[in-house]
Structure 1
Amino acid sequence: MTDRSRSTPLVWSAITLGLFAVLTVLVVIDWAPLTDLDRSATDETTTWVAEGSWLEHALRILEHAGGTIAGIIYTILLAAWLWWQSQRRAAQYALIVIITTFVVTHALKFLTDRNRPDVQAVFAHLDNGSFPSGHASFIASLTGVLYVVVGMLVRRSGIRRLLHVLLVLLAVAMCFDRLLLGRHFPSDVIGGLLLGFGAALLTRAFFDPQPRSTALTSEPLVASVPAATRDLHVVLNPIKVEDVGQFRSILSAMAVESGWREPVWHYTTIEDPGTGMAAKASVAGADLVIVCGGDGTVREVCAELAGTGIPVGIVPAGTGNLLARNLDIPLYIRSAIDVALNGQDRAIDMVRVSGDGGLEDTHFLVMAGMGFDAAIMEGVNEDIKKKVGWLAYVLSGLKSLMFPAVKVEVSIDDAPFTKHRARTVLVGNVGYLQAGMPLLPDAAIDDGVLDVVLLHPKRFLSWLPLAFRVLTKGSKTDELIERFTGRKVVIRAAIDTPRQLDGDSIGSGRELSMECIHGRLLVRAPR
């Protein structure tokens, strides 16, 4: 989500590549002070590794892991993954940086033709050019690319910092590998680092890896009822973004670029998680409302705007982001903003919900549940969730895995109730739930019906065949998995049971009554 001006990477690339150029000249003229320092340092560091020791074996493994063939494989896999994630410019950026570094490294090896340290022959002699280190230049270019990609795609600052630190440690480990094995002089390794990082910085200055706006790359959509004013309102949950000012700046700039007016901003509060803000936007005559927050905020805003004809753009900033995932809205915030501003309007279903236990009439967009899944939501530690995101749900799920089975009754479309036993009952408006689980593979968010699944693993080990059947999208129904579909669904439990809507716990109760309202809401989806 970070925008960097061209000047910052350009200045740092000039410094980095300038130092590399100076070092290259010193190596070519065989400057005595540098040569003496290289030899003395190499003689010292290679004494730390005994031939045949566990350390030598570990270093040799690291050496092969960072070799040319391995590097080619890593590069192809990284570019393919980025392309698959629709981050095509990021994939191009990775290829440009790594291929350029590879070509320049081997050209300089040939031109400088520097001899390798004599001591490296103890382990296995390498006789191609020593300057610059190919391992060091590759790991530096790869680290530089991944540093940029992580900064783009990872929203949680704690996880982002952790990944950045791990990348730096990986580069340091590879450099020490070259020195301890005596493969290179220190100046070779430093030269490789400067070249790789310099290439990443210089390319970043002139090639933006962030996706280009749909408004710049696609023909305008034909609006059935063109908006005369193009008024844009934004409902933001401020605790869900790292820097509110930066987020506002990015969205405002992209909105103006896409032909919208300067946005009107509304902030959610603990007392009002979005309903009042959406109502204000509707009364003010908004042509588009963008909501940025978690599933709870999205649900509140969408429920208020349902039936108004005002499209809702979704910028997912929560942990689950289930609606966004099922609509194929990208989780990378700039891409999500682009879809919200320039995507295709799509009519989707909403689900009206009522129940006992003090539950007021409400709606959901993704799913409702009773039992094990709701116990997971209740058991999530919010402090852990802030630090590690969706892993907090995994920890809660492990604690709740043997939630006791409950006697339930189910009625579909006002038919007589049928009796069952289940550890969890899920009613879904979409097919994919947390962690991409295809629990309701036939569900569609615009088909006018709800999909119901009852899960009843009798023993701990019964979760294994259940998971296999879910992941393989098996259609078989029995006591382990039962499925139903219908426009109206009523679930009654024999005892008070945890309940949840769109991943938010709504307290325990014995009943949920749900009705699908077909095509109730307009949302912005990718073209």
Structure 2
Amino acid sequence: MSQRPRPCRWLRRPGSDLGLRLTLAAAAAVLLLVPFTVLMLLVATAWPPLLALDAHLAATLHAGTSANPALAGVLQLWTDMFAPGPLRVLVGVVAVWLWWRGARRVALWAVVTMVAGGLLGAGLKLLLGRDRPEFLDPVSHATGYSFPSGHSLTAALGAGVLLLIFLPFVPDASPVRTQRATRWTIIAAALIVTVATGLTRVALGVHWLSDVVAGWTLGVAVIAATTAAFATWRGLPARRSPQGGSGRPPPRDMPGRT
């Protein structure tokens, strides 16, 4: 009998490659935080070349959007569908489903990743206090500060979390070409949601491009950091009872385990 697929293999039970997986995740988090920190410092110090590039791209994209009401409507629909609220609800529903299936550590990882990323983004908005673009003929409106883009951050978090959860569900029994096509389709969908959601914010005139890039970078960095943290937690040895057995029942954090 074939076992049911186990979501998010990075968080599965520890094995000989735990150190490698942990190192890769931690390194990815650090490497992504470097460009984010540089970008944040450039924004905080109002570096003229960055401000000029942001202003030029914002004005150009906004001009094209305002001249095409139909396009503006499509972009607004997209940005509303993949706003932070709906994406958080979607990940929450998936987390409940994972918990029900017994993949409780993965469910916790998904929730912690979304909450940690959201709180970090909100804190940075208050810290930087960057104003949003302003136009005489705005096609959309948004409140709050601008850096980093909450839509872009949440899109990266939500798409990344769902990608890591559902990629392992591609059936191993499928032909190799079918497996590859399915996996690349899932990856492409995650990338499209992340990139398109961020770009709609610039085209609608409510964010600078640097806000969007910062949101993407921070989102992926948070995923890498929480993955490393949960992989470490998953690798901790079980406590031993005085009788020599484990001090806790066998983990049921993955569906299909017996």
Residues 150 and 160 in structure 1, CA contact (< 8 A), matched pair in contact too: no
Equivalent residue for 1:179, pick from 179, 186, 202: 202
Task: Report sequence identity in percent.
Answer: 25
1:494-517 deviation per Cα after TM superposition (whole angstroms, max 9, x unaligned): xxxxxxxxxxxxxxxxxxxxxxxx
Residue 61 of structure 1 corresponds to: 77
Higher relative contact order by CA 8 Å / sep ≥ 6: 1 or 2? 2
CA shift for structure 1 position 48: 2.0
Alpha-carbon distance between aligned partners in 2 of 1:120 and 1:202, rounded to the nearest angstrom: 41
Equivalent residue for 1:7, pick from 14, 20, 23: 23
Matches within 5 A, 1:5-404: 5-50=21-66, 53-119=69-135, 122-156=138-172, 157-158=179-180, 159-208=182-231, 216=238, 336=256, 339=257
Residues 94 and 145 in structure 1, CA contact (< 8 A), matched pair in contact too: yes
Q: What one-letter code is carried by the residue in structure 1 that aligns with 2:211?
A: D
TM-score (norm 2): 0.78
CA shift for structure 1 position 150: 2.2
Cα RMSD for the two superposed structures: 2.9
More helix by share: 2
CA shift for structure 1 position 216: 5.0
Alpha-carbon distance between aligned partners in 2 of 1:170 and 1:209, rounded to the nearest angstrom: 30
Residues 102 and 255 in structure 2, CA contact (< 8 A), matched pair in contact too: no
CA shift for structure 1 position 69: 2.9
Q: What one-letter code is carried by the residue in structure 1 that aligns with 2:192?
A: L
Residue 247 of structure 2 corresponds to: none
CA shift for structure 1 position 23: 0.7
CA shift for structure 1 position 42: 0.8
Alpha-carbon distance between aligned partners in 1 of 2:192 and 2:104, rounded to the nearest angstrom: 28
Matches within 5 A, 1:414-453: none
CA shift for structure 1 position 68: 3.7
More strand by share: 1
Secondary structure of 1:122 counterpart = coil
CA shift for structure 1 position 19: 1.0
Residues 140 and 205 in structure 2, CA contact (< 8 A), matched pair in contact too: no
Residues 75 and 94 in structure 1, CA contact (< 8 A), matched pair in contact too: yes
How many equivalent pairs are there?
Answer: 226
CA distance 1:145–1:17, shift in 2 (3 Å): same
Residues 61 and 203 in structure 2, CA contact (< 8 A), matched pair in contact too: yes
Q: Which ranges of 4 or more aligned residues in structure 1 deviate by more than 4 Å?
A: 1-4, 209-213, 215-219
Residues 93 and 209 in structure 1, CA contact (< 8 A), matched pair in contact too: no
CA distance 1:35–1:137, shift in 2 (3 Å): same
Q: What one-letter code is carried by the residue in structure 1 that aligns with 2:40?
A: T
TM-score (norm 1): 0.40
CA distance 1:25–1:86, shift in 2 (3 Å): same
Alpha-carbon distance between aligned partners in 2 of 1:64 and 1:218, rounded to the nearest angstrom: 50
Q: What one-letter code is carried by the residue in structure 1 that aligns with 2:206?
A: R
